[in-house]
Structure 1
Amino acid sequence: MNTPATTLAFVESPVQLLNVLEWAHQQAGQQSGQQSGPKPLLDSIPPQPTRGGAAPAPPGTPAGLHIIVLPPTDPMSRGQLRRVTGIARDEGHTVHWQEARGGAGAPFKALAALAGRVRRAERIVVGDPFSRFVQLLLVPARARELVVVDDGTATMEFLAQAGRGERLRRWHRTGGGALGRLKELAYAPVSGNARRRLTPAAGRRVEVFSSMPVTPLPGMELRVNDFGWTRSRFGPPRLTKGTDLVGTSLVETGVVDAGRYLEAVSRLTREHGATRYFAHRRESPEKLRALSEATGLEIVRPDLPLELIARRGPVGRTVLSFPSTVVHTLPYALAGTGVRVAVCDIDPAWLTAAASPRARTFLAGVTDTARDVHRLPAETAPAAG
């Protein structure tokens, strides 16, 4: 941990780590002259020659890329992160696993261990600008170049809030009462510093690397993540005759009512002949057990991000999802395979009383902006009650 890094990347989830690998792959291609100019639109991506397993890393991997994994506490996320960490090391990247949670002193020990490296970094890559720990790490940062890679659809909200000059706040987070507001007030200087750091200014370059349909802020660079690394390393997948359904953690985050969600999954299963349910890493075992008993679906707990699981296969000819990141990423990862991605809207009646006022418009925006996906007709969506 004493060697200075040219580029320092902080990731807290398997998807963030995957997207850092995608960024590094595209960066290496540009450095070696294999890529230039703007990234292609989705419908112009040609099928790439691929193999069934992981391929050796290409030459041109960005020198000095050090990835710091800041794992969450839940076992499923940690398991997926371990798997993707192994892949990252196979690609030739330096990866350090830094515990920053799970105890009263863990965050302070992690900050102390990383502060010097953060100050020396010439470029910093972050996967979650809303993370309070990452925001704290940006306080001592002197890097003149910062990159934000996708943490799913949250990238859309990050750019919207930064553009309005608002404090960075997750779209599904509610007020939290008087104590919550007091904590927000006390933390405001750190959050404000992070927002300024991630906004272009004289002498500071900011890039967003995203699969989401976003508009960069003035002076900000945007590169499209077309999952070129995933497509070059894995697949093409074998297609099954069935339909796969992708789960969501909207119940766990308090946005969608559990009973309504069970009704929705049951109806989609009946109408579309779904046979497998790919669980989100944060879905509770109790909820998944109830879904299996009510629908007969085979519950699959992926050990890698869904983009890699789907690309390796087998995968259904149709993949159904509620509004989530995968309606934007799977069309890229599965380009040229013939898989159809379909999205089912969230009925406003499914939202809980505790859901934030932003929830309805945010989820609708995720669906409205999805490219190359089939939107289920209104009569197919589950009834509100």
Structure 2
Amino acid sequence: MTPRSGAPRATRAPRATNTLAFVESPVQLLNVLEWAHTATYDMTEVTVVVLSPTDPMSRGQLRRMAELARDEGCVVRWEDARDGMGAPLRTVGGLAGALRRAERVVIGDPFSRYVQLLLTLVRAPSLVVVDDGTATMEFAGQLARGERLVRWHRRGGRPGARELLLAPVTTSARRRLAPTPRRTVELFTAMPVTESLPGITVTANDLNWTRARFGPPRLTRTADLVGTSLVETGVVDPDHYLRAVRSLTRSHGATRYFAHRRESADKLHRLAVETGLEIVRPDLPLEVIARRGPIGRTILSFPSTVVHTLPRALVGTDVKVAVCDIDPEWLSATASPRARGFLSGVAETARDVRKLRVLPVT
């Protein structure tokens, strides 16, 4: 498949490889590199398959991460896997042979229907799941409880027609994610895993590659605020979110707002106008941005992946990370019933962070 203009191209033709890694987000690709570094694995034996999303910010960050992966010796294969109705069939068909030959398969999002479909073709004796942010916590819990794989922010209720159609694929993928005498399964994560996962090796992701590759950063005198896509996913009411950001900005002297790659342009414009924050659109995952610097002496965040990863990435520096919990009043009418408990768990289990009281919405 010919990549779109500006998309990364493989430095050499895809070949039989020991490890085949499938990523759909910049953070997943970062954590493939973290896993290979921690395992002291030869990165020249890793082929990364980018199942490219359609939104420009994700594609841009993935392009930059792909450059870093190539610098480390990985082969990168870019697939415009969502480019038209026939793209999934072409992509899966083109990857079938490599999947069957792979000795080790690494995935970043077990909830992805695309990845679940690819898992049905996996014959590798080793399967690794690397971090995809807070979703890793939900995945571990659902796997331990024997539940079907459903993202935490999705509302409950009866499965729709699409879910019913894909149910056999999800069931098959879940079986692949369970260890057997012929297949080992590893979970590589910076997130807390409190459930018992019999037979699965859980390895800590300490962001060692990021710390070795970048920094230490120069620190500014002010605070930075990390954005979230909770409004875009329908969890938090946009007006309440704006008021909370404004309150955090005033209380802690924040001057910059690092936008999440999925935040809408309209919301970011409104934040800039009403809070005075400088909106920064990072070209790499925030863990890398923070290590490169400059970065604020205090980093403020709502419950999200970064309250678990940034303290690890910035260990040994004077940066303090603080998390502000989500007030139940901020939740939108469309929020999943599980949203409040899940977000509280993300904040409460974060280590080496300062816990901020719930801000009044004024």
Q: TM-score, normalised by structure 1?
A: 0.89
Q: Which runs of 4+ in 1 moved over 4 A?
A: none
Match of residue 382 from structure 1: 359
Once residues 168 and 5 of structure 1 are traced to their aligned partners in structure 2, the CA distance between those partners, rounded to angstroms, is 29
* Counterparts of 1:361 and 1:321, CA distance in 2: 17
Deviations 1:150-178 (A, max 9, x none): 00010000011111111111111125x87
Contact 1:6 1:63 in 2 (8 A): no
1:320-360 deviations in Å (ceiling 9; x for gaps): 00000000000000000110000000001111111111111
CA deviations over 1:103-131 (Å, ceiling 9, x no partner): 11111110111111111111100000000
2:173 counterpart residue number: 194
> Do the aligned partners of 1:212 and 1:328 also contact (CA within 8 Å) in 2?
yes
Distance in 1 of aligned mates of 2:237 and 2:290: 28
Please give the residue correspondences for 1:74-153 in structure 2 after superposition, counting only pairs within 5 Å.
74-153=55-134
Determine the C-alpha separation between the residues in 1 that align with 2:28 and 2:301.
20
Distance 1:254 1:276, change over 3 A: same
The residue number in structure 2 matching 1:306 is 286
Cα offsets for 1:349-377 (capped at 9, x unmatched): 1111111111111000000100000001x
Which residue is equivalent to 1:245? Answer: 225
For 1:129-155, what per-residue CA distance to the aligned partner results, in whole angstroms no more than 9, with x for missing partners?
Answer: 000000000111101110000000100
Query: 2:43·2:73 contact (CA, 8 Å) conserved in 1?
Result: no
CA displacement at 1:384 relative to structure 2: 4.3
The 5 A counterparts of 1:1-385 are 1=13, 3-28=15-40, 61-175=42-156, 181-215=160-194, 217-376=197-356, 378=357, 381-384=358-361
Output the CA distance in 1 between the equivalents of 2:266 and 2:258: 15
Structure 1 gap segments, 5+ residues each: 32-60
Equivalent pair of 2:243/2:361 in contact (CA under 8 Å): no
Q: What SS does the corresponding residue of 1:241 show, helix, strand or coil?
A: strand
On the 8 A contact 1:6/1:121 being kept in 2, the answer is: yes
For residue 251 of structure 2, give the secondary structure of its aligned residue in structure 1.
helix
- Contact map agreement 1:144 1:203 (CA 8 A) in 2: yes
Q: How many Å apart are 1:382 and its aligned residue?
A: 2.1
Q: For residues 325 and 349 of structure 1, what CA distance do their matches in structure 2 show?
A: 22
How many percent identity over aligned positions?
Answer: 66
Which whole-Å deviations, capped at 9, do the CAs of 1:24-45 have from their partners, x for residues lacking one? 11111xx6xxxxxxxxxxxxxx
For 1:84 and 1:76, the matched residues in 2 are separated by: 12
Report the count of equivalent residues: 349
3-state SS of 1:97 partner: strand
SS of 2:110's equivalent? coil
Alignment-mate amino acid for residue 173 of structure 1: R
Matched residue SS, 1:222: strand
**Larger CA deviation: 221-230 vs 196-205:** 196-205
Q: Which runs of 5+ in 2 are unaligned?
A: 1-12
Q: 1:98 Cα shift?
A: 0.9
Q: Give the superposition deviation at 1:5.
A: 1.5
SS at match of 1:96: strand
RMSD: 1.3
Q: 1:89 to 1:63 in 2, by over 3 A?
A: closer
Instruction: State the SS of the aligned residue for 2:256.
Output: strand
TM-score calculated relative to the size of structure 2: 0.94
Which amino acid letter does the alignment assign opposite residue 39 of structure 2?
A: Q
Higher relative contact order (CA 8 A, sep 6+): 1
Deviations 1:55-84 (A, max 9, x none): xxxxxx245211101110000000000001
